[in-house]
Chains A and B, each alone.
Chain A
């Protein structure tokens, strides 16, 4: 049987972190009561004229520079015409002929292999309004608050060959956009959205198959499943001797399959033409250099610095930088406790596990770095045992960001601090050895596994919580001494 491979390209839309919309001074904030962020420009009143937001151009240039794109020096906007209730003007202002960025790439690591996914282009455009179906009237309710919010559409080349590569590309792109401060990239609020173009071909073939486009993908997991599912569907069609139709499909994550939305035959004719209401945009060297000088430290630079200055492995440094909220927490925690390796282990281990257990995305994290730093420090000093430290971490994550947890007070109040007092430990060890003379004898005769039992017995005899490491040390010393 023929073996097939998938060929995937992505169109990623990100809402930019500006205060105002692309062409008017209305708020670009998410939410708000319906139709309260609207004005004559974004609600399509006749005679209203758009004026470009300078910050959008700055963010588009910053994105292009970070991804190694060429910045188009002489650019303009184009008008894309279509009738749909999400767009009161009946056209979207976008860029077709002269996108602001071309070329560039995103470097990904999958299964130890490094690969560049090329960027085809990046263009600026306006978002559309939000439509909600009203079951009572069986009609559509339109809220235009999001209408005119600035977007970048980042179009990749069809360079991805597996769901893992697709997710790696998205994660890297999201981290880059977050480090740049270009977008918060919250998929649950729609500020990062991806459409997947996928075709299949026999392995070894250079020709591209017929592709489909999938929409309605609202998490990285859904995207990975959609890519795997659509690959299966297309391969089955070809193996049955049927053809793939070029069409737009909607992924249904609950049913784990996609449904045809519209096919090429009724594809729309958008009648693009240069936007007459906006004069051309000329970007000179000085503008680009101004943006370049303001670029923050990006993931690759951080990875190098974490290895050089903090002694982390490349693997840990990469894992830490993959998600900006976790990376920020790590940097602040490490600065507070001056133990970067321990801080890294805590963030990648316990903090990530706790987020996962709570079903939270990293950007929902409100853990105060000072509290985590204290937990890291107390654990490293042996004042907190692993389970006590975990308990403190849970409490620190529950605390509101305005009133971070006082870790020392919490540990004291809950009896989590380990007895470091050797007197108490020695007493407990002595009592345990006296209570189990037979086991002591067998231990001394070489039955190593009984040591754990005796440590447990000693721990039970501690007044507060014993430090298991210290108890174990003392117990072993006592076992070595013949007269104990």
Chain B
């Protein structure tokens, strides 16, 4: 896969990253090297190999439906830049 400047810009926008010109060039270079490295896998025959999404041999990690205390509301709001009536206050997002 070829990494283009447009792709870098698009991915940066999706991640809400504000990159300057030098950072964009660096990202283009790094992403190209990373994908080239991973491309080495394409040389292997993976027919009949189940795709794997986790490296650990874990499955069915579950808990019972038992409530436990939540955090105190003031702790939840501790990192809120602004708050009102127990809510986080965010830039206008609803119509």
Please give the residue numbers on chain A whose beta carbons come within 8 Å of chain B beta carbons, in ascending order. 18-20, 25-27, 33-40, 43, 51-57, 76, 81, 83-86, 131-134, 137-144, 250, 269, 271, 274, 276, 278-282
Contact = CB atoms under 8 A, between A and B. Distances in A.
A232 B23 CA distance: 51
A138 B91 CA distance: 8
B65 A52 contact: no
A279 B71 contact: no
Given A25-B68, A138-B92, 11 more contacts: A27-B70, A34-B85, A35-B73, A36-B76, A53-B65, A54-B63, A84-B93, A137-B89, A142-B90, A143-B86, A280-B53
Given A139-B91, A143-B87, A18 B16 contact: no
Contact of A133 (B10, B63, B86, B92): B92
Contacts of A274: 53-54
Interface of B: 10, 14, 16, 53-54, 56, 58-68, 70-71, 73, 76-77, 84-95
Contacts of A143: 86-87
Contact of A26 (B70, B85, B95): B70
A37 B87 contact: no
A85 B93 contact: yes
Contacts of B92: 133, 138-140
Contact of B65 (A19, A76, A137, A280): A19
Nearest to A281: B60
A52 B16 CA distance: 29
Contact of B86 (A33, A39, A55, A276): A33
A132 B87 contact: yes
Nearest to B74: A35
Contact of A40 (B65, B71, B90): B71
Contacts of A280: 53-54, 59-60
Given A18-B65, A35-B76, A133-B94, A141 B85 contact: yes
A204 to B, nearest CB: 40
A353 to B, nearest CB: 38
Given A25-B68, A38-B71, A140-B94, A52 B61 contact: yes
B87 A35 contact: yes
23 contacts: A25-B63, A25-B67, A26-B68, A27-B70, A34-B73, A35-B73, A35-B88, A38-B76, A43-B71, A43-B76, A52-B63, A53-B63, A54-B65, A56-B65, A133-B95, A139-B89, A140-B89, A141-B87, A141-B89, A144-B88, A271-B14, A274-B54, A276-B53
A1 B51 CA distance: 53
Contact of B53 (A19, A76, A139, A141): A76
A178 to B, nearest CB: 19
Contacts of A138: 92
A145 to B, nearest CB: 9
Contacts of A276: 53-54
A322 B86 CA distance: 41
Contacts of A53: 62-63, 65
A138 B84 CA distance: 12
A84 B60 CA distance: 30
Contact of B77 (A35, A54, A85): A35
Nearest to A26: B70
Contacts of A84: 93
Contact of A54 (B64, B70, B86): B64
A86 B87 CA distance: 12
Q: Report the 9 A-B pairs with minimum CB-CB distance, sorted nearest first.
A: A274-B53, A25-B68, A55-B65, A141-B87, A34-B86, A279-B58, A85-B90, A142-B88, A54-B62
B44 to A, nearest CB: 20
Contact of B16 (A43, A83, A271): A83
Given A83-B16, A137-B89, A279 B94 contact: no
B67 A279 contact: no
B65 A20 contact: yes
B53 to A, nearest CB: 4
Contacts of A250: 95
A146 to B, nearest CB: 13
A51 B61 contact: yes
Nearest to B13: A269
Given A139-B92, A140-B93, A140-B94, A34 B71 contact: no
Contact of A35 (B61, B62, B86): B86
Given A85-B93, A131-B94, A269-B14, A38 B70 contact: yes
Contacts of A38: 70-71, 73, 76
A115 B51 CA distance: 39
A54 B14 CA distance: 33
Contacts of B90: 85, 131, 139-142
B91 to A, nearest CB: 6
Nearest to A131: B94
A63 B95 CA distance: 35
B41 to A, nearest CB: 17
Given A37-B70, A51-B63, A134 B58 contact: no
